[in-house]
Structure 1
Amino acid sequence: MAEMTVELVAVEAQLWSGSATMVSAQTTEGEIGIMPGHEPVLGQLVEGGVIAITTTDGERMVAAVHGGFLAVTAGKVSILAESADWAEDIDAEAARATVADATDESVSVLQARGRLRAVERATT
């Protein structure tokens, strides 16, 4: 089975590094899927976006990411986010409350919407 090295790094810490068979991410140009052997590409992650990593063990890992970049080179995908939260660590009720109380499209509202999308994708 073909695989690639994937790294998920947020400003505060490296969240994950390992081998994967698939990565999907929401960029400003649309959603992109990366498999081993993909052509080199650089993409800007959307504010309040979601990434999903399928490991070589078949585990699907989903995270909410806020801003940053996705870089694909020969055999490696680097996801460099301003912030990132694993779906299983997200307090969905707090995110729903943030969205419900929103009066504008502030950074916290965009992050909360991204967190809710990550939770939804992790359960489907």
Structure 2
Amino acid sequence: MQANVVTPDGSVFDGHVEMVSVKTQDGELGIMANHLPLVTPLAIGAVRIKKDSKVQLIAVSGGFMEVRPDEVNILAESAELPSDIDIARARAAKERAERRLEEAKRDNIDFKRAELALKRAINRIEVSGTKQ
């Protein structure tokens, strides 16, 4: 089946694949050819694309997935291949978010925003293949 991962900045992945696995807001979901049509919101997580018996990861920060019997389209807010992830920047973002979360406990700042920033940073670090 055909799989496409697109962001507002352009295409991140486009090709024929065996399977696509994503983290939706309701849990994990695996898609293979001839799947029933579906549209679902995505959570922050790694998209796993199985192609030629190898798995490729893409860090995604939310969006939607549209499934057709012969095609999967992922419309992501942001998406990065492991080779495109700036690990130093991701670690700095993780540290900032952790500090904000700690401050939120004391100062009641925007806890949800800091929590989402932390999830995005951890996802990028995990997809990059480096240790936290």
- Normalising by structure 2, report the TM-score: 0.75
**Partner residue of 1:63 out of 53, 58, 61:** 58
Question: What secondary structure does 1:37 align onto?
Answer: coil
Q: What is the percentage of aligned positions where both structures have the same residue?
A: 32
Displacement of 1:43 after TM fit?
0.6
Contact 1:50 1:114 in 2 (8 A): no
- For the residues of structure 2 that align with 1:119 and 1:59, how far apart are their CA atoms? 20
What are the ranges of 5 or more consecutive residues in structure 2 without an aligned counterpart?
102-110
Question: Structure 1, residues 1-21: CA drift from partner, whole Å, max 9, x if none?
Answer: xxx100000111111100111
Distance between the aligned counterparts of 1:52 and 1:111, measured in 2?
Answer: 21
> What is the one-letter code of the residue matched to 2:22?
A
Tell me the alpha carbon deviations over residues 70-89 of structure 1, each in whole angstroms, 9 at most, x when there is no partner: 01102100000111122333
The answer for the alignment partner of 2:32 in structure 1 is: 35
RMSD, aligned α-carbons: 2.3
Query: Cα–Cα, structure 1 residues 51 and 14, in superposed 2: closer, same or farther, change >3 Å?
Result: same
Pairing 1:65-80 to 2, within 5 Å after superposition: 65-80=60-75
Q: Distance in 2 between matches of 1:65 and 1:13?
A: 14
Structure 1 pair 64–111 and aligned structure 2 pair: CA distance change class (3 A): farther
Question: Cα distance 1:61–1:112, how it changes in 2: closer, same or farther (>3 A)?
Answer: farther
Residue segments in structure 1 that go unaligned for 5+ positions in a row: none
Partner of residue 44, structure 1: 41
Q: Deviations over 1:71-109 (max 9, x none)?
A: 110210000011112233321423432332233221x65
Question: Which has the greater radius of gyration?
Answer: 2
Partner of 1:113: 119
Name the structure where helix makes up a greater proportion of residues: 2
* Distance in 2, Cα, partners of 1:116 & 1:100: 11
Call closer, same or farther: CA 1:22–1:98 in 2, change over 3 Å. Answer: farther
The answer on whether the counterparts of 2:18 and 2:32 sit within 8 Å (CA) in structure 1 is yes
One-letter amino acid of the structure 2 residue matched with residue 114 of structure 1: R
Determine if contact 1:65/1:82 at 8 Å carries over to the other structure: yes
Q: Which moved more, 1:10-19 or 1:89-98?
A: 89-98
Distance in 2, matches of 1:38 and 1:122, equals 29
Distance 1:34 1:111, change over 3 A: farther
